[in-house]
Amino acid sequence: MPSTADFAAIYAQDLVYVPGCWQLCGNANCCSFSRQKDRFRLMGRSKGQELPLLPGEFAYLSAHDLLGQFGDYQHRVTEYRFGARVLRIESLISHNPGCACAHATRTTVCRLYPFLPVFDLDRSVVGVERLGIYEVLEDLAGAGRVCQVVTIPDGERSKFLAIAAAIGADPVAAFYVDAYGIAQRHARRRLLDLKGDREADIYSVFEMAVLRQRLIDHAALAAELEARASALEQRHGALLLSA
């Protein structure tokens, strides 16, 4: 089933949690995460910015002539298979200096950051969680966050909910957001397990886990994704994420 997310509705929402919020951290860190990447010894030296896309978002950007803003970009597509299903994970990699895209036409993930909507089985928003692995690392490190946005102010809540509603109206897009949250929480638990009781820097634990391909327990993650997909299908019918 192809995504039918209403990207026109999403891109119409100029969600800005705090005016000039990219200046609160001093350098629009959400575009480069340079301060977090500087804590790695072997990873994170690339200047490219990778922007996750919802299913159908690349096609929307292409159809509306919005890809030029990313400069000499790469369109990365990987597949994650679990059981008889497959997630087709898309992202854009931009090598633009500074921000990867223009403010008015920024991608869905850029509009939402640093928050991700949490959906119930009826695809209604029941909460929010911090968005991104660097947010997870900062939380586990306990040293404070670079991004100073800590809440969705009342005046911007309707825009956040409008974006979430446009995502939630499409079962495929909503499941991809569910899957991102599931994978993020899974990675957090794995990091805690890998660190154990050691006095180890969580960034070093993460770096070694990625390099040694231990960050994800694929059997466990697949079971979590399958459970969510099955629960949604019992409520709404087939998602058609077949491999």
Give residue 62's domain range: 7-236
| Whole-structure pTM value | 0.94
Residue 45 in any domain: the answer is yes
Q: Any bridge partners for residue 78, and if so which?
A: 89
Residue 76 in any domain: the answer is yes
Residue 243 in any domain: the answer is no
Asked if the model's pLDDT at residue 152 lies above 80, the reply is yes
**In this predicted model, which residue has the larger pLDDT, 91 or 83?**
91
Residue 1 in any domain: the answer is no
Residue 53 in any domain: the answer is yes
How does residue 44 score in pLDDT terms, banded at 50, 70 and 90? low
> What are the C-alpha distances in Å from 78 to residues 86, 92, 223, 231?
10, 12, 19, 25
- How many domains in the chain? 1
Residue with tokens 């969680």: 129
Three-state DSSP at 122 gives: coil
Asked if the model's pLDDT at residue 243 lies above 70, the reply is no
Mean pLDDT of the chain: 93
Asked if the model's pLDDT at residue 1 lies above 60, the reply is no
Residue 94 in any domain: the answer is yes
Strand order in the sheet with 85-94: 49-53, 85-94, 74-82
Give me the pLDDT at residue 2, please: 57
Nearest-angstrom CA–CA distance, 178 and 128: 11
pLDDT > 90: percent of the chain: 79
Nearest to 136, CA basis, from 177, 204, 187, 207? 187
DSSP state of 169: T
Contact 148, 127 (CB under 8 A): no
Residue 2 in any domain: the answer is no
How does residue 185 score in pLDDT terms, banded at 50, 70 and 90? very high
